Amino acid sequence: MDPALPRRAVIDRAWRALGPGVEVFSGADGGPLRRTVKRIIDPLVLRLRSNTHFSAPVLTPAVAAELHEQLIGCGLQLRAAAAWFVELKQQRRQLRITTGNAQELYFPVCFELAVTRGAPGADKAQVAAQVLAELHRGRDRTAIEVLNDHVADPRILDRLHRQCERSWNDVLGSGSDVASGTDSAAFFAGLATVLGPADSHRAAVARQRVWSALVADATPHNLGAAARRPHARLPFSIVDTGLSSALPQRPPPIDGPAEGDRPLDRSVADRVRATLRRALDRDELPGVPLLCAEEVDRACAPWGLLAEDKQAGLLAGIEVATDLHPLDASRTGRHQLSARIQARLAKEAYVLHARRYLAAGAAVHPRQRQVIDDLGAFCRPYLNRLWARLHGRDVWQESCADVDELRSLLEGVARSVSLDHRQRIKTMLEVRVAG
């Protein structure tokens, strides 16, 4: 029997066979960008909705050959689409458009132009300007420029400040001081079950039941309120874990520079900017005034998160993060999940390399030093990224009620931070080789 072929490899081989003319859709290695596959190849070239046999992760030789032929057959349109993308990017700069991700927005439109008009002609500038006007009409409702104008109005700033003061004091006066002491022990004992193994269906059901109870528990709210009080007794330090630059936690500013660079230090306007930058479809977001009003309440909520499942998820993440010490191969972790993440991190090639450097006392490149510092206090970059993901889920009202999804999220954050470290070291090495 002929061996099956990975779909990604088949697409990559066909793409390289197209030859020159599609460089703007390609990565540094010559293969198609991930967004090229997502926005052009899958929906428009392969048309996966009707050609479902192309969507399998592993393809038979016959299907692989058909996919290859389909992609090569669209070579003229793909080269024309690449030329249209260059023109749209040039017009975007001339019109000083800064909203939206150019690849996400323009890739499908460029292929449509290639199919309907062919390669760019003498009227390419006029066509590109018209396309951009249509694409961005209405998107300015949630543009970052609109946000900047909104928070520059003194009357709006005053209203948001008063809302912030009320919301902050409501949380500060709520909760129970004892939750930061012995009462929180039951919550963290439950987290041991959530982060532990489930070797049978009955154990998995019990773990889900425990997580549902923890989401409904008042402990995450009470601990978040206690973090704002002087001399609060918390099971962890919000400064050492990198969630805040000050203890007790300070109220968030509305706009302007924050007093720290940690997640709970960020201004309301910066949080909204992050939401706008991450949003692939801003049409699904409310307008800037409502976004700002909602974000004030979110920034003043315990842990800067409104939903109880996100607050409980952050505490689960803190429990995992404080177990992660990639530079110490002897650390195993208190929970099954954190032990698994710790073991995976400790085996990373760049982590092993860093341990050897530190053991030998060798000189370390400044950029590599940044990665080593992150590895030495891994909980800080880990919780920074986890908080950002939970914040996004909070804004979009995406649930964390399923315990398996939560565990996948906690593992995924560790992988993401590790990939970021690897990329930083790779960039450093490329710069040194180029030098």
pLDDT digits (tens, 9 = 90+) for 189-222: 999 999 999 999 999 999 999 999 999 999 999 9
300: pLDDT confidence band, cut at 50, 70 and 90? very high
| Mean pLDDT over each residue of the chain, to the nearest integer | 88
Q: What pLDDT, on the 0 to 100 scale, is given for residue 175?
A: 60
Give the count of beta carbons closer than 10 Å to the beta carbon of residue 24.
17
Q: What is the pLDDT of residues 124-134, one digit of tens each?
A: 999 999 999 88
Residues 136-149 as b or e (16 or more Cβ within 10 Å = b): beebeebbbebbee
How far is Cα 37 from Cα 381, in angstroms, rounded to an integer?
A: 30
User: Helix and strand tally (H, E) in the chain?
Assistant: 19, 2
Query: CB of 304 within 8 A of CB of 298?
Result: yes
pLDDT value at position 374? 82
The two structure tokens encoding residue 126: 């006029």
My answer on whether omega of the bond before 32 falls inside 30° of 0, hence cis, is no
Q: For residue 102, what pLDDT is reported?
A: 86
Q: How far apart are CA 274 and CA 203, in angstroms?
A: 39
* Pair of tokens at residue 153: 């109005």
The yes-or-no verdict on residue 352 having pLDDT over 90 is no
* H-state helical runs in 118-228: 124-136, 144-152, 154-172, 183-194, 201-216, 219-226
Tens digits of per-residue pLDDT, 223-262? 999 999 988 889 999 999 999 999 999 999 999 888 888 9
Whole-number pLDDT of residue 86: 96
Residue with tokens 């950002």: 388
Q: Quote the percentage of the chain above a pLDDT of 90.
A: 62
- Residue 178's alpha-carbon distances to 113, 219, 239, 307, 315, in angstroms, are 64, 10, 21, 22, 17
Residue 433: pLDDT band with limits 50, 70, 90: very low
Please tell me the chain's helix, strand, coil percentages from 3-state DSSP, rounded to the nearest 5.
70, 0, 30
C-beta separation of 22 from 15 below 8 A: yes
Model confidence at 372, in pLDDT bands (50, 70, 90)?
Answer: confident
- pLDDT 10s digits, 96-105: 887 777 898 8
- On whether the CB atoms of residues 259 and 246 are closer than 8 A, the answer is yes
Tokens of 202: 């009955």
* Whether the predicted pLDDT of 332 surpasses 90: no
β-bridge pairing 5-6 and 58-59: antiparallel
Of the pLDDT bands very low, low, confident and very high (cuts 50, 70, 90), residue 176 is: low
Has residue 141 got a pLDDT over 60? no
The answer to whether 163 and 294 have CB atoms below 8 angstroms apart is no
d(CA 15, CA 209): 48
Is the pTM for the entire model greater than 0.75?
A: no
CA 304, 280, 378: angle at the middle one, nearest 5? 45
Question: Which among 374, 396, 369 is positioned nearest to 385, based on CA atoms?
Answer: 374
**Spatial separation of the C-alpha atoms in residues 147 and 150, rounded to whole Å:** 5
